[in-house]
Amino acid sequence: MAAGNTFGTILKFTSFGESHGPAIGGILDGFPSGFEPDMEFVNDFVQKRSPSGSIWETQRKEKDEAEILSGISNGKTIGSPIAFIFRNKNIKPQDYSEINKSFRPGHADYAYFKKYGIDGQSGGGRASGRETVARVFAGALALDYLRKMNIEIFSFVSAIGSVNAEFDPEILDKNTIESSVLRCPDSVAEKAMLDLLENLKKENDSVGGCVSTFLKNVPAGLGEPLFSKFNAALSQAMMSIPAVKAIEFGAGKDGLKLKGSEYNDAMSMNSGKISFDSNHSGGIQGGISNGNDVFFNTCFRPPSSVGKMQNTVNRSFENSELEIKGRHDVCFVPRAVPVVSAMTALCVLDLLLLNNAYQIL
């Protein structure tokens, strides 16, 4: 059986490392050879995941410079596994000396203890969001490959707490998203979100939110029935990200309010091509892309580490109280945007390579 650290069918990404271990790393196997990655684009994309110094973000700062160990030579991929690591430098295990005496509410401590029979690791170990840096590097390589195929991936913050952004899918602009400190395309909603985060910071509390993703120029026909549908593969990718609790495609739960005649995406011929009058299905029908924009929402729970006294159980299985200190996010949703895009890119490139397997030589 697989131990759950590898994602993908043809393009396989394996992650390793712990939050406060020597390094976080990954192996990307099956990546096409002869490709010349734009390393400036890749490295810049990795930095999008790093905290910016805002008050609602963790104050842990890592340079996040990848050491490529194999798979890229003379600036090109050579077909062998692309192995890489990120050295952990700014670690403070002392921040966890008291915390590790108890199971932290909302964290994976107790679940990991029951599964592996080991005490909690500093920073959450494998359950920490720190491990996503390897996903983002691998996903940036896939994203670079896809953009040269004219496939675009837009991810952005569409909700924090009860504050929802308004946006028009037809005029979404990456520059607008990236110029926003919260990666939110709605400046009015962004202000309300910032006010909410500032208040929660004062209260030593946290909040979750939603990342929305659009895929443009995805060819029709991606996805494998029945158990490897496009939306199933994307769901596995998203649900593997720490703190993700829900995903919905197209109209999602709002589609429950529509009649079938309203929900169906009517089709017509336009300049020799099929076009759709709506996109309630999110660009996926029968688990296979239909050529329309693919759209989905990824929902994150609030960060578990809050500076409030909470009831819990200690390692001696006695009732106790715990107040978590250290460097923690009030909201990690803006930093999750590149993680969502990275996992999306890995999923899409894997499905494209799988689709190529059907082509007659």
- 166-199 residue pLDDT tens: 999 888 888 999 999 999 999 999 999 999 999 9
pLDDT, averaged across the chain: 91
Nearest to 46 by CA among 179, 129, 135, 128: 135
What is the tens place of the pLDDT at every residue in 253-276? Answer: 999 999 999 999 999 999 999 999
Cα 163 to Cα 76: distance, rounded to the nearest angstrom: 44
**Fold for the domain defined by 6-356:** Chorismate synthase, AroC fold (3.60.150)
Is residue 121 within 8 A of residue 20, CB to CB? The reply is yes
pLDDT digits (tens, 9 = 90+) for 54-113: 666 665 566 899 999 999 999 999 999 999 999 998 655 555 556 678 899 988 889 888
Provide the pLDDT for residue 91. 58
**pTM over 0.85, yes/no:** yes
The pLDDT value recorded for residue 120 is 60
- Give the confidence band of 329 by pLDDT, cuts at 50, 70, 90: confident
What is the pLDDT at residue 19?
84
CB-based contacts of 288, cutoff 8 Å, min separation 6: 220, 221, 222, 223, 225, 229, 230
Domain residue ranges of the chain, discontinuous segments joined by +: 6-356
